[in-house]
């Protein structure tokens, strides 16, 4: 598996050389586009993270975790993982930190860890994607898609925990 990424790079570059493209010039032009692209994202990212930080520091996040963990455990999601389910839609790095913590506390092969891995691997940072994708669109109200995504993610969370039990 670890050969895939180098192979992708090599084959793209080899093909470009074969097509007589100036690889260095094209690559640096791409990096230049990346600078412009990231600069457009910075304001949105900062605002999103300020809100996440407020949510965390105000204790609302912890309160929500406490309130929802009985609900989640009734649905078959282990209580320890409620926090992961709640932060994953907001923060990729936060949930990654939590995932590594779960792995080191419970051992990599325990049920909790496997479940956490599947949850992490099968969901996305929904609100973050939302902010990045629609940063430059005029119509910002997309309640129906967001609601659909949250519903489906919850459904797949429940299924993931079930699947980990059987597989």
Partner 1 sequence: MIICSAALLITDPASFLPALSDGAKKGLDTAIALFVIYAVWMGLSEVAEESRLTARISALIKKPITAIFRTKDEAAAEDIAMNVSCNLLGIGGAATPYAVRAIDRLEKQQNHFAQNLLFIINATSIQLFPATVIAIRSSAGSSAAYDIALPSLLATAISTGCAVCLFLISERLSGRKKP
Q: What is the footprint of partner 1 within residues 80-139 (CB under 8 A)?
A: 93, 96, 99-100, 103-104, 107-109, 113-114, 117-124, 126, 129-130, 132-139
Residue 79 within binding range of partner 1, rule CB under 8 A: no
The rounded distance, in Å, linking the Cα atoms of 84 and 119 is 8
CB 73 within 8 A of CB 59: no
**DSSP letter string over 33-56?**
HHHHHHHHHHHHHHHHHHHHHHHH
Q: By CB under 8 A, name the one of 4, 6, 74, 140 that touches partner 1.
A: 4
| Contact flags string 41-60 toward partner 1, x per CB under 8 A | xx--xxxxxxxxxxxxxxxx
Rounded to the nearest whole angstrom, what is the least distance from the CB of residue 134 to partner 1 in the complex? 7
Biggest CA pair distance of the chain? 62
Rounded to the nearest whole angstrom, what is the least distance from the CB of residue 5 to partner 1 in the complex? 8
C-alpha angle with apex 146: 160 to 152, nearest 5 degrees? Answer: 20
Task: Report the residue number, 59 or 74, with the smaller CB distance to partner 1.
Answer: 59
Q: Is 2 helix (H, G, I), strand (E, B) or coil?
A: coil
Q: Segment contacting partner 1 (CB under 8 A): 32-40, 65-73, 79-87?
A: 32-40
């Amino acid at each position: 598996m670890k050969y895939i990424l180098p192979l992708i790079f090599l084959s793209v570059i080899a093909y470009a050389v074969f097509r007589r493209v100036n690889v260095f010039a094209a690559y640096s032009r791409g990096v230049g586009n990346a600078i412009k692209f990231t600069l457009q994202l910075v304001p949105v990212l900062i605002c999103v993270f300020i809100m996440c930080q407020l949510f965390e520091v105000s204790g609302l996040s912890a309160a929500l975790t406490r309130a929802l963990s009985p609900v989640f455990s009734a649905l078959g999601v282990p209580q320890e993982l409620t926090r992961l389910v709640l932060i994953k839609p907001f923060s990729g790095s936060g949930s990654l930190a939590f995932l590594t913590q779960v792995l080191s506390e419970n051992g990599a092969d325990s049920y909790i860890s496997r479940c956490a891995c599947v949850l992490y691997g099968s969901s996305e940072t929904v609100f973050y994607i939302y902010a990045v994708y629609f940063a430059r669109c005029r119509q910002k109200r997309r309640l129906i898609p967001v609601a659909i995504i949250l519903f489906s993610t919850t459904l797949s969370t429940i299924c993931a925990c079930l699947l980990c039990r059987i597989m």
